[in-house]
Structure 1
Amino acid sequence: MQAIEADSLVVRLGKRNAVNGLSLRLGQGVHGLLGPNGAGKTTLIRTLATVQSPTSGTLSLLGSPANGKLRPVRRRLGYLPQHFGYYKRFKVREFVEYLAWLKEMPSARIPGAVKTALERVGLTDRAEDRMKSLSGGMVRRVGIAQAIVNSPDVLLLDEPTVGLDPAQRLRFRELVAELGRSSCVLISTHLVEDVAAACTDVVLVSEGSLVFRGTPADLATAGTTEHVGDSPIERGYSALISANAGGAW
């Protein structure tokens, strides 16, 4: 059984299909989701997180249909949206505890799970600080902590490294590599180098459709020195997006 199984998935937003007939199967490992602005990445992540409902096609999460009973599935998901809200007066520990409670974790497990999650994102020393006192990068790390507090079987991260400094991004890559050994991790990002360093495979979407699926090494061979980019993987990305758009990139 794959953790995520989508067949001819369509998600309509307004008058357009943000996800347009996409078929995809993802299992254990770290998967990078790439694509230009407006490609449908955030809509796809939201749909996989059961925030957005599919318009047509089929979607199965952890063996259960996404149009069925969602509470058992949601207990096994971790989700970091691109923008997330929080109560500014909450302490860091309280915020992650609150999200653990919303995920219906057993009360006895929550304190230890919160402690471990904060340790993994390097925020143990800020556990009693108010959320309003944190920098943008620290808030993002709290977001990662709440996403992983329940040891999810499927972890969905939308632009998780925004606001992180280079050292924090390196630690993040180590963390997701560790998580991917036992879970299905999907990372949506604009940073191609993060995909190259952290992901076992790459999913490239454009205009809501799948245009490439392969390893970072496969992606690196898709371009030439004539394409835009500072590295082979960036040039491969540019080549595929250009070919799909029918013009120069």
Structure 2
Amino acid sequence: MPLLYQDCTFRYGRRTHPVLNGLNLALAPGHTVLLGPNGAGKSTLLSLGAGAFRPGTGRVGLGRLSASGPRDARTYRRKVAWLPQRPGFLPGLTAREHVAYIGWLKGMRERDAWAAAPAAIDRVGLAEKMNDRIKTLSGGQQQRVAIAGALVHEAEVLLLDEPTAGLDPHQRRRFLDLLVSLRGTMHVIVSTHDIGDLDQAFEEVVVLESGRVRFQGPVSLFDSHAAPDCVPGRRLESAYESVLEAAE
């Protein structure tokens, strides 16, 4: 089912300028990357998609399920997992305890969540760290534990906000490999400023600027926006710059 934003407007507090204004966007199942400058609305878009925020006007939904509808919200939040840029962890928990706890929060029975946690942790390549306290893990490992929390309750959609921020090149490579391994099993939507190798992990690109969609399409079409004389290896960066320049 697609993640739908229908005529969505959102503003923070009493600010007169909306972050999103009449946004219409359909994100089909697959791996989608959200690009855009700071303040473009990427984090707000993901927060709305997670049901953490409610639009001032319009609707956010997964197929017929509404993110904020009183009868749909619980089911919706089981189907959609959201990881903000800095996932929170309860102090003192091991990786398994955290993943099982997330499963319980999402509606699993306690014993079922505990039994399912090892398989979810193994999927993210951390089986040997399952009983380690999260505070002892590296930033990249903590990010993978957070994703295991989404896998344990079999969410259909995974929303990731700047998941590679602060990761070293090796950790970033491991993370992208993990995203590739999820193809065909989860609908993944990622916001990032790292453009260079997005063609290896994503199928669709969405560019936001000033709360509006400036581009949506497959990576191959996005690549075609690169300048003819761009430096080899920088085609995607060039395409991004061209899309933003066209929006001015």
Pairwise same-fold verdict (TM > 0.5): yes
- 2:193 is paired with a residue whose SS is coil
Q: Distance in 2 between matches of 1:151 and 1:170?
A: 24
Q: Which amino acid aligns with 2:134?
A: M
Q: Distance in 1 between matches of 2:231 and 2:74?
A: 44
Q: Distance in 1 between matches of 2:232 and 2:20?
A: 27
- Name the residue aligned to 1:202: 205
- 1:144 is paired with a residue whose SS is helix
- Name the residue aligned to 2:60: 59
What is the Cα deviation at residue 186 of structure 1?
A: 0.7
2:8–2:21 CA contact under 8 A, matched in 1 = yes
2:164 to 161, 167, 170: 161
- 2:108 is paired with a residue whose SS is coil
- 1:161 is paired with a residue whose SS is coil
What is the Cα deviation at residue 229 of structure 1?
A: 9.1
Shift in alpha-carbon separation, 1:23–1:197, aligned structure 2, 3 A: same
2:114 to 111, 120, 129: 111
Q: Which amino acid aligns with 1:130?
A: R
Q: Which amino acid aligns with 2:172?
A: R
1:10–1:56 CA contact under 8 A, matched in 2 = yes
CA RMSD of aligned residues (A): 2.0
Q: Distance in 2 between matches of 1:156 and 1:44?
A: 10
- Name the residue aligned to 1:17: 18
1:62–1:73 CA contact under 8 A, matched in 2 = no
1:148 to 147, 151, 161: 151
Q: Distance in 2 between matches of 1:105 and 1:41?
A: 30
1:18–1:39 CA contact under 8 A, matched in 2 = yes
Q: String of CA shifts for 1:28-47, please: whole Å, max 9, x gaps.
A: 21111111111100010011
Q: String of CA shifts for 1:91-135, please: whole Å, max 9, x gaps.
A: 121111111111112334323431122112222111222222222
Q: Which runs of 5+ in 1 are unaligned?
A: none
2:182 to 175, 179, 183: 179
1:100–1:146 CA contact under 8 A, matched in 2 = yes
- In the alignment, does 2:47 pair up with 1:41? no
- Name the residue aligned to 1:90: 93
Q: Distance in 2 between matches of 1:151 and 1:194?
A: 27
- In the alignment, does 2:192 pair up with 1:189? yes
- Name the residue aligned to 1:28: 29
What is the Cα deviation at residue 166 of structure 1?
A: 3.3
- Name the residue aligned to 1:120: 123
- 1:193 is paired with a residue whose SS is coil
- 1:82 is paired with a residue whose SS is coil
Q: String of CA shifts for 1:175-220, please: whole Å, max 9, x gaps.
A: 3234231332111111113422111111111111100001111111
- In the alignment, does 2:3 pair up with 1:4? yes
Q: Distance in 2 between matches of 1:109 and 1:13?
A: 39
Shift in alpha-carbon separation, 1:238–1:58, aligned structure 2, 3 A: same
2:67–2:77 CA contact under 8 A, matched in 1 = no
Q: Distance in 2 between matches of 1:162 and 1:120?
A: 22
2:95–2:132 CA contact under 8 A, matched in 1 = yes
State the TM-score, normalizing by the size of structure 2.
0.90
State the TM-score, normalizing by the size of structure 1.
0.90
- In the alignment, does 2:142 pair up with 1:139? yes
Q: Distance in 2 between matches of 1:242 and 1:105?
A: 48
Aligned length: 244
2:199–2:219 CA contact under 8 A, matched in 1 = yes
- In the alignment, does 2:245 pair up with 1:242? yes
User: Matched residues, percent identical?
Assistant: 38
Which shows bigger deviation, 56-65 or 95-104? Answer: 56-65
